[in-house]
Amino acid sequence: MPKRHQITTEQLAEIEKLRIKNRDKNKEKRLKVLVLHAKGEKHSLIADKTGFAATYISVIVSKFCKHGLSSIVANSYKGNRRNLSFEEEKALLEPFRVAAAAGNVVEISAIKAAYEELTGTILEDNNKGQIYRVLKRHGWRKIMPRSKHPNKATDEVIEASKKLTMLSSMKWKILQADESD
């Protein structure tokens, strides 16, 4: 028979104290799972009362026993990893904007270094998009010179070709005019 995690009376008192202060319904459901488990209820009955799956109830209880109450109450949302507010990002990009307006080439590596220095975090190589998303939020875009074909004709050859084309089209019109007479 598997080992059942035990919740002590001190831990139960701490959970009840936290339930009184709590205002989040999702945390309340997780805390209720712990209280019902401490009272000796089976996981299938706890699942019926809370709406969680029985396997998730054992995960909650195990997490509580291993890591404590903070692991149950902590907010674990993973989205929106912005380290700076919009205004702070704007202030960070201002010197680079001035340099770009003066005609200098602005490199992403310099912006990334300034961003890392300001936030105190090091961006991983596989997270290159974070700096590009900051730039996109502030209306920056990548400007590149127009591509050129390596075998493109020179400007003189193109102009000569235009003249030849014009001459041949004029000759054609003259020939058509002669035939119609």
pLDDT at 179: 67
Residue 16 has pLDDT above 60, yes or no: yes
In a domain, 169, yes or no: no
By residue range, what is the domain housing residue 130? 86-137
Gap between the Cα atoms of 70 and 80, Å rounded: 22
What dihedral angle (degrees, nearest 10) is formed by the CA atoms of 97, 98, 103, 106?
Answer: -40
In a domain, 150, yes or no: no
pLDDT in tens, 107-165: 888 999 999 899 888 887 766 688 888 999 999 987 777 777 888 888 888 887 777 66
In a domain, 166, yes or no: no
Of the three residues 137, 158, 175, the one that is the final residue of a domain is: 137
Number of structural domains (the chain) is 2
Helices of type H across the chain: 9-21, 25-38, 43-50, 54-67, 70-73, 86-101, 108-119, 129-137, 155-180
> Do 60 and 23 reside in the same domain of the chain?
yes
- Out of 49-63, 65-79, 98-112, 165-179, which region has the weakest mean confidence (pLDDT)? 165-179
Lookup result for tokens 């307006």: 101
- Greater confidence (66 vs 170) lies with 66
> Do 15 and 49 reside in the same domain of the chain?
yes
114 three-class SS: helix
The structure's pTM equals 0.45
In a domain, 160, yes or no: no
Of the three residues 115, 137, 159, the one that is the final residue of a domain is: 137
> Do 47 and 25 reside in the same domain of the chain?
yes
> Do 59 and 18 reside in the same domain of the chain?
yes
**Residues 93, 83: contact at Cβ < 8 Å?**
no
